Structure 1
């Protein structure tokens, strides 16, 4: 098995949604094919898709995305065409646990998920994030810096231009990891697992992809609430805007599917982190009252939260690097890099909002220099 590489490929691309997707697929086709061959969940997704209920759930969810976010469906089609892989396999990745639930297949109970630390101190405004995933995804990710321009307004929110940089898993839409856009939105994602999953709704991957076009905090909430449809599954979003009036405000937003089939809107719970405050979020709901499904993930998440609470309150970027590097709980470390672990920290990112930089680490941040430090470039 290929060991951890100190490498993060990056693609700069400009064009329509389909053209940008095609460039992603063509450029990273080797990584996409490699992940399709090794990613264990895909075989479960395909088995679920081949059942009558799974196929209906797939068709209903695709129809929802084509209705509200056709530009991102075209983007995903571009990835599939560029990489020469079947579209339905990539879309199943984006449905994720929803396809298993509708086909009554048991989802994974593994301790997957990421950790995010937000520190809002004067001169030390930091958002730090470990990107944790199945070990098969190690070395199967890249950065995409895209400028998307369309002649006509696109999708539910009528966007014509997007410019962003995002970490991406091979074959996936940008947005469901960490990244920023040229309006100054900086965010990271923590996966959350709920028992009640919904087809015919918007998969979380599509909602976080839409965040890359958000111009302000009101739009962030509108996108995640997704009125008229709502999310099919759940996640947590840690977000702030670089350009703000007054003091820095950071937000953790827990998102869950609607409470019933009759409610066409995601559930949201928003925690605001003001000056002098900090917070930690992993992969269990802390505020929304939701029945959670992945017991392994929620237990591991609670152990990481306990570790954070044992650490001295972080005040600086150095403190954030130390927390994200922590391995004091050998069973549930925050930075996961044991060779035999089913889940690995594939990389770590630290946004310094004061200095407007994004540092990316391919290994333990406390012990290593960043592999790259990217400037956060804003519109105008």
Structure 2
């Protein structure tokens, strides 16, 4: 499979505003060239820019996590854009759009619990997004003055956290989009995912996902190095279901716990197919590397111009190994461009 998927590394440090400024300077061209030209952004801008609802989301974000709003303010300054436009982009999942204007869907994750005393727990994740972003995303290393450093895959103009990444305390997070019909005024989900990367303990992250004032939500796969603990959290705005992972498990783009059986959500055919394929593969998995599952193009779990009904393409694959004494991560640009980025953390 031939691709040309550049993932640009960016390292930033300082106050929250300084971090944002550096990220904005690094990603500004991609924001203008790749974000502002998408149909989704055009719909967002036409429907919600300068709206009362967007102002209410901003108020909720500033009240709960002012430091992460400062990062968006800095990003806007660094990219030479106005704050409200960039904040709008960071609320893309919290604002209703018509089906043909909604954000690109995708992402599939696999969770493998640790076996024995020396094997790692593993979270592996296909990051699927708009094809326009292929080759225009970033791997960011962020070291705030007043919180844990972290590394994360980043879209142009969006706070790090809503893709896959890990912080300096060994807390790992991967995200799957879900479309549950319960949007409300509250803290935007981009802010929530960034807040998770500032947590020391997995339980602290789960507490954030149980907040009742979230505007919308995601599926979060969370893990903790040292403990080698894994949890799957389905967290739409109105509910939060936490599942301890004790057997190999997978997740696509809709909530699947029976407690959500009466919950209204949009489930694409692609998400159903990927969920079914991952469940089948996990049932016969012999604990080979998770890429065996995530690089499957027949269903396809791996998205490459597959004509699915949710307009997405795999932008990168992240594999996070959580050991008793540390963690390792590998980022694949594509099945033919493996080990693009690698790193290790000792705890």
TM-score (norm 2): 0.90
Q: 2:209 aligned with 1:237, yes or no?
A: no
Query: Hey, what does 1:153 align to over in structure 2?
Result: none
Could you tell me how far apart the structure 2 residues matched to 1:43 and 1:68 are? 28
**Cα distance in 2, alignment partners of residues 269 and 211 from structure 1:** 16
1:285-314 CA deviation, whole Å, 9 max, x = no partner? 011426344343xx3211111112332533
Q: Partner residue of 1:119?
A: 112
- Indicate if the aligned counterparts of 1:44 and 1:100 stay in contact, CA closer than 8 A: no
Matched ranges for 1:358-377 at <5 A: 358-364=329-335, 367-377=336-346
| Structure 1 residues 126 and 295: alpha-carbon distance in aligned structure 2, compared to 1, 3 A threshold | closer
Q: Distance in 2 between matches of 1:310 and 1:59?
A: 45
Q: How does 1:261-300 map to 2 (within 5 A)?
A: 267-274=239-246, 277-287=247-257, 288-289=259-260, 291-296=263-268, 299-300=269-270
What's the CA shift for 1:371? 1.2
1:162 is aligned to 2:148: yes
Q: Quick one: structure 1 residues 212 and 111, their matched pair in 2 at CA, closer, same or farther if it must change by over 3 Å?
A: closer
Q: How far apart, in 1, do the equivalents of 2:194 and 2:204 lie?
A: 13
Give matches, 1:53-202, under 5 Å: 55-100=51-96, 105-106=98-99, 108=101, 112-122=105-115, 123-149=119-145, 160-199=146-185, 201-202=186-187
Q: Aligned to 1:252, which of 232, 251, 262?
A: 232
**Distance in structure 2 (CA, Å) of the matches to 1:183 and 1:124:** 16
TM-score normalised to structure 1 length = 0.83
Equivalent of 2:320, from 351, 354, 357? 351
| Residues 269 and 293 (structure 1), Cα distance of their counterparts in 2 relative to 1, 3 Å cut | closer
C-alpha spacing 1:130/1:283, structure 2 compared with 1 (3 Å): same
Match of 1:22 in 2: 21
Instruction: Write the deviation string for residues 152-205 of structure 1: whole angstroms up to 9, x where unpaired.
Output: xxxxxxxx3231111110110010000011111011001111112112x01111
Other-structure match for 1:219: 204
Pick which of 202-211 and 37-46 moved more: 37-46
Paired residues of 2:40 and 2:103 also in contact (CA < 8 A) = no
Shift of 1:25: 0.6
RMSD, aligned CA? 2.1
Secondary structure of the corresponding residue to residue 254 of structure 2: coil
Tell me, in whole angstroms, the C-alpha distance in 1 between the residues paired with 2:100 and 2:242. 28
Question: Which position in structure 2 is the counterpart of 1:305?
Answer: 275
Structure 2 residue runs of 5 or longer lacking an equivalent are: none
Q: Is the 8 A contact 1:4 1:139 kept in 2?
A: no
Which of residues 315, 324, 341 in structure 1 aligns to 2:294?
Answer: 324
Q: Distance in 2 between matches of 1:98 and 1:353?
A: 31
In structure 2, how many angstroms separate the alpha carbons of the residues matched to 1:162 and 1:6? 29
Other-structure match for 2:301: 334
The Cα offsets for residues 88-145 of structure 1, whole Å up to 9 and x where unpaired, read as: 22211221143226xxx55646771200001114225221100001111212210111
Cα distance in 1, alignment partners of residues 158 and 101 from structure 2 = 19
Mean Cα deviation higher: 181-190 or 36-45: 36-45
1:345 is paired with a residue of what secondary structure? strand
